[in-house]
């Protein structure tokens, strides 16, 4: 089976700096694929490029058989990619429900006039999206009681769950998570890891950036390691994490 997402020779340059160098990446359908590496290795730059925030300088980027390199953020989202961010990005004054409905914009099929005048189709679509938002609040472990609370007033861990639910509102084929466990205690990390597994059970492929190697080893089916913007290792988690070159990149050991 062909990969859901693949890059060949993906390169990103900022002036004279090569941030990503000729990266080959293949994400299998239905997998939890980890993208790891030391700080500054280029992991978030890869996610920004996959989702259209950064245009690639060279190389190919295909998603579900379609070339998406250079497409707009909106076009890539419509193709079926959704993401969270390393630093939580929620709209300051919006309720949790309003935040989730923002994530449903590409699925809102009513016309602009229908929305303005409240057509039957627009009202039915809105009811369906609100119902789906309530389902996702339960799915991420918050519950409908949180729907009318201002999202940014929630605890850090709960804001993370809102951000994941907002991404899931788009019904993505691939969910990209940028350090979703950062700043969490051990219990919260375990709960979010379980949530990621639940997302995969729903048929959604996951690309995960994470620094907790214990969680990465237990959660991911496949790992790609970046170092200075280049692929250092790729394969099964146990083999990758025992690779001397990977250990050297993380721990400063002399490479052999």
For 69-118, give the DSSP string: TT--HHHHHHHTEEE--SS----TT-BHHHHHHHTTGGG--S-HHHHHHT
Looking at per-residue pLDDT, the higher value among 115 and 93 belongs to 93
CB 163 within 8 A of CB 178: no
Query: Are residue 74 and residue 183 in the same domain, yes or no?
Result: yes
pLDDT tens digits along 187-216: 999 999 999 999 999 999 999 999 999 999
Mean pLDDT of the chain: 90
Judgement on whether residues 114 and 184 belong to the same structural domain of the protein: no
Whether 75 and 92 map to the same domain: the answer is no
CATH number assigned to the domain comprising residue 246: 3.40.50.300
Instruction: Assess whether pLDDT exceeds 50 at residue 183.
Output: yes
Domain hosting residue 137, numbered range: 87-171
8 and 58: one domain? yes
- Give the separation between CA 140 and CA 99, rounded to whole angstroms: 14
Q: How far apart are the first and last CA of the chain?
A: 35
* pTM for this entry: 0.90
User: What does the CA dihedral 71, 220, 197, 47 come to, rounded to 10 degrees?
Assistant: -20
The reply to whether 36 and 149 lie within a common domain is: no
Do 243 and 254 belong together in one domain? yes
Residue 197 lies in a domain: no
Query: Is the pLDDT assigned to residue 154 strictly greater than 80?
Result: yes
């Amino acid at each position: 089976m062909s990969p859901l997402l693949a890059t060949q020779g993906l390169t990103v340059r900022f002036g004279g700096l090569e941030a990503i160098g000729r990266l080959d990446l293949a994400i299998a359908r239905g997998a939890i694929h980890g993208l790891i590496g030391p700080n500054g290795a280029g992991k978030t730059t890869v996610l920004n490029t996959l989702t259209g925030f950064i245009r690639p300088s060279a190389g190919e980027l295909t998603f579900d058989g379609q070339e998406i390199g250079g497409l707009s953020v909106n076009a890539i989202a419509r193709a079926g990619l959704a993401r969270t961010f390393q630093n939580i990005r929620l709209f300051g004054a919006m309720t949790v429900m309003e935040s989730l409905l923002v994530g449903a914009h590409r699925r809102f099929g009513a016309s602009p006039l229908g929305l303005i005048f409240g057509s039957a189709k627009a009202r039915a679509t809105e009811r369906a999206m609100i119902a789906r938002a309530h389902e996702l609040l339960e799915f991420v472990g918050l519950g409908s009681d949180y729907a009318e609370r201002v999202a940014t007033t929630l605890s850090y861990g709960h804001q993370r769950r809102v951000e994941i639910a907002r991404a899931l509102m788009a019904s993505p084929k691939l969910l990209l998570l940028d350090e979703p466990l950062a700043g969490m205690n051990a219990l919260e990390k375990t709960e979010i890891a379980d949530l990621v597994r639940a997302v995969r059970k729903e048929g959604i492929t996951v690309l995960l950036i994470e620094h907790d190697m214990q969680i990465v080893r237990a959660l991911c089916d496949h790992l790609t390691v970046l170092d200075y913007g280049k692929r250092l290792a790729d394969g099964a988690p146990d083999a990758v994490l025992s690779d001397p070159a990977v250990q050297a990149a993380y721990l400063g050991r002399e490479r052999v």
